[in-house]
Amino acid sequence: MRELALGPAVCVDDRRAVLGEGPLWDVRDAALYWLDIKGEALFRFDPGTGETAVFPAEGMISALAVCAAGGFVAASRNGFLRIAIEDGGLHIDPLADPEAGLPGNRFNDGKADPAGGFWAGTMDNAEEAVSGAWWRLAPDGATTRLAGGFMVTNGPAFDPERGRVFLTDSARRTIYVAPSDGAVLGDMEVFAAFGPDDGYPDGMEVDAQGCLWVAFWDGACLRRFDPDGAPLQEVALPTPRPTSLAFAPGAIYATSASIGLDPSAFLAGGLFRIEVDADLSPPQRAFKGV
């Protein structure tokens, strides 16, 4: 596994998001979509112009995936949603709220799976209760609880070549791996665990070479691991709380948070771009529901 030539992390949008998250490179319009969960906004960054469009997004929308029928599927405080950008704003339709009986919970990270569904994890918004779980929204609209007992869910990151998925409990500083074809979740085992000096593993993604990239909250970096968990590379970011990442042609984008920090310092809450000498983008997956 060769070492990649990586440029420095450059802030391309000094947005000062409260809790920047959910970056998604959309090949349909060659743009980077991302979210501010607690600032309740959705952003569309156009790398061709360097401009960002801002859309108010109530309900703590936390993760997006391309929808094959158009628009996006999303996770939020109010469950799963369908989102379309229309007339300069967001048109939002509810799909399912599998944790309506847990008002202290909200959805956090999520992604489309290789079987055409959408996975997202829940968590206690106050980060006090171990009430988080992983859910799958199937293309037919059915919801399935895949696993419970999480405090702060992050991921998933799918590795379809090896038939597995990575899931993180950031509060436990632990990344788990399990067999999965996207539709089901097998038995989980620890892939990697980290100490206080490492920061907290947050959002993550598997690149086209089968390596796992992880953003480290309070670690001020992204780290790349080979398929067996050996560390390969580290990219420093000029902000202490990177939250997630997405691949684009010739680049990696990373979101960050200003929550708990002086938002005027460290470029906290900004969107960052790292040039890379390879296209790490796996094929774009889409939610195949209506």
CA torsion through residues 234, 240, 243, 247, sign: negative
Give kind and range of the element (H or E) at residue 9.
Answer: none
Query: Is the CB of residue 280 less than 8 Å from the CB of residue 209?
Result: yes
Residue 84, beta-bridge partner list: 91
Set 109, 169, 202, 207: catalytic member: 202
Residue 255, beta-bridge partner list: 244
Q: What is the Cα–Cα distance from 105 to 86, expressed in whole angstroms?
A: 29
Tokens of 41: 């906004």
Closest to 36 measured CA to CA, from 28, 27, 45: 45
**Residue the block writes with tokens 């596994």:** 1
Q: What is the Cα–Cα distance from 167 to 184, expressed in whole angstroms?
A: 13
202 a catalytic residue:
yes
**Residue the block writes with tokens 């999965």:** 180
Closest to 43 measured CA to CA, from 59, 28, 61: 61
**Residue the block writes with tokens 């949603």:** 81
Q: What is the Cα–Cα distance from 98 to 30, expressed in whole angstroms?
A: 33
Residue 197's CB: how many other CB atoms inside 10 A?
A: 7
Residues with a catalytic annotation lie at 202
